[in-house]
Amino acid sequence: MFDKVLIANRGEIAMRVVRACREMGIKTVAVHSTADANAMHVRMADESVCIGPPAAKDSYLNIPALIAACEITHANAIHPGYGFLSENARFAEIVTAHNITFIGPTAEHIRIMGDKVEAKRTAKMLGIPVVPGSDGAVLESEALSIAAGIGYPVLIKAASGGGGRGMKVVTHEGELLSQLNLAKNEAKSAFGDDTVYMEKYLSTPRHIEVQVLCDMHGNALHLGERDCSLQRRHQKVLEEATSPALNQNQRSEIGTIVADAMRKLGYVGVGTVEFLYENGEFYFIEMNTRLQVEHPVTERITGVDLVYEQIRVASGEKLSLVQKDIQFNGHAIELRINAEDPQTFTPSPGTIKFYHPAGGVGVRVDSAVYAGYSIPPYYDSLIGKLIVYGRTREECLQRLRRAVDEFVVDGIKTTLPLFQRLIKEPDILAGNYDIHWLEKYLGMKH
């Protein structure tokens, strides 16, 4: 096992990793920009290193500074958290080349899943159901015949995209070539790669993702799904496990398909396979090769510490569990608390004057803020996650309403007032929502 882990991240996820390391008897090194000298993750770790000025490209994305920080502190492994360098194959390669363990999958697996065309080809080859569409990249000369074969409406996606950037819905053939060229131009300027592919457009799906966990010894298991359909501009707002749309048989069926596929691929670490789910069918869209923001809902209903397992498997140890150990108990919901105006979603950095996190039975708060802390304007606006458990979804929602009422963050604007309304909505109480529900709701007058 590692003696010391460097955490190449900030905020609540850096705290999450420090906590797992401390329970495992592993020493921790925090890194920080000059803007984060007073951040909680820095105080919580055993040691800290300043790696650069506020802009992420000069600090949290500064690979030479991170490697140097490892060398001066003698850290044997790097945990990348989420965002920043967590899905950067080149970073994983450089870390490995310096005899430091990258806590994550191989650079090769990160690279495959980062290319959405390659990811889909791989998923299909491994027996995962995919959205009907082009087999790979679409050339202008073949576009009309491919779209006719798929049937309209079709969706044009960028191979280097993901996260919804650069997608175009095309409803009839008269618009296809103009939209294709628009998509290619946008992809070229956003990602430096104009490769696009085409899929059948699914009009009202849910976003359901399956959590997997794999070691280097051929063991792969699934931890069920999370329903992340409630999003605004491709940012998740509320996530829950289990999905209100699935029963135990469906969970076990898709989970087994995904775990078998990951075993065949030789994948190592934690991973999330994302699906669109419509009319009882799953359609693969992407795979994330990192720990995700919403991992705590899975931890809560399975009792598995995903970061503990992730660190174990990265060090070469076997998983501490097998599939039959994994049971799904009760229901968990996570709310993302952002330092944003709850009406306009514009960032609201500033100093927190008073902070009282919710507590009590069934409540977990993952956050890195405290009273007196100034949220810097340079990074994303997630300041905490409220994760609530109940034996049933009804009990979970009831407790969630109590916990949101109890939560106080003064001095800045947060998304808490939005949640106060959202978790009383009949459609949310009924679990009756798809990927478009939240934006429609936010577009209505209240």
Task: Give the binding range for ligand MV4 (CB under 6 A) out of 85-93, 157-165, 186-194, 389-397.
Answer: 157-165
- Map residue 276 onto helix, strand or coil: strand
Interstrand relation of 168-170 and 154-158 (parallel, antiparallel or unpaired): antiparallel
Task: Give the binding range for ligand MV4 (CB under 6 A) out of 37-45, 161-169, 241-249, 311-319.
Answer: 161-169
Q: Check binding of 239 to ligand MV4 (CB under 6 A).
A: no
Cβ-contact 14, 382 below 8 angstroms: no
- Nearest-angstrom CA–CA distance, 102 and 94: 9
Residue 96 CB, shortest distance to ligand MV4, in Å, is: 28
Residue 343 CB, shortest distance to ligand MV4, in Å, is: 21
Residue 61 CB, shortest distance to ligand MV4, in Å, is: 22
Q: For CA atoms 296, 298, 300, 306, give the dihedral sign.
A: negative
Q: Check binding of 290 to ligand MV4 (CB under 6 A).
A: no
- Nearest-angstrom CA–CA distance, 101 and 79: 9
List 110, 119, 214, 435, residue binding ligand MV4 (CB under 6 A)? 435
Known active-site residue 206: no
Catalytic residue among 16, 251, 290, 393: 290
Nearest residue (CB) to ligand MV4, 79 versus 120: 120
* 205 burial level (CB within 10 Å; 0-12, 13-18, 19+): buried
Q: Check binding of 286 to ligand MV4 (CB under 6 A).
A: yes
Those residues whose C-beta lies under 8 Å from the C-beta of residue 335, and which sit 6 or more positions away, are 237, 238, 385, 386, 400, 404, 415, 419
Beta-bridge partner residues of 269: 214
Cβ-contact 378, 55 below 8 angstroms: yes
Q: Check binding of 153 to ligand MV4 (CB under 6 A).
A: no
Nearest residue (CB) to ligand MV4, 29 versus 202: 202
Cβ-contact 262, 109 below 8 angstroms: no
Find the residue with minimal CB distance to ligand MV4. Answer: 164
Tell me how many residues contact ligand MV4 (CB under 6 A): 16
Q: Check binding of 155 to ligand MV4 (CB under 6 A).
A: yes
Binding mask 191-230 for ligand MV4 (x = CB under 6 A): --------xxxx----x-----------------------
- Nearest-angstrom CA–CA distance, 396 and 242: 12
Cis peptide before 415 (omega within 30 of 0): no
Name the residues that contact ligand MV4, by CB under 6 A.
131, 155, 162-164, 199-202, 207, 231, 234, 276, 285-286, 435
Catalogue the active-site residues: 290
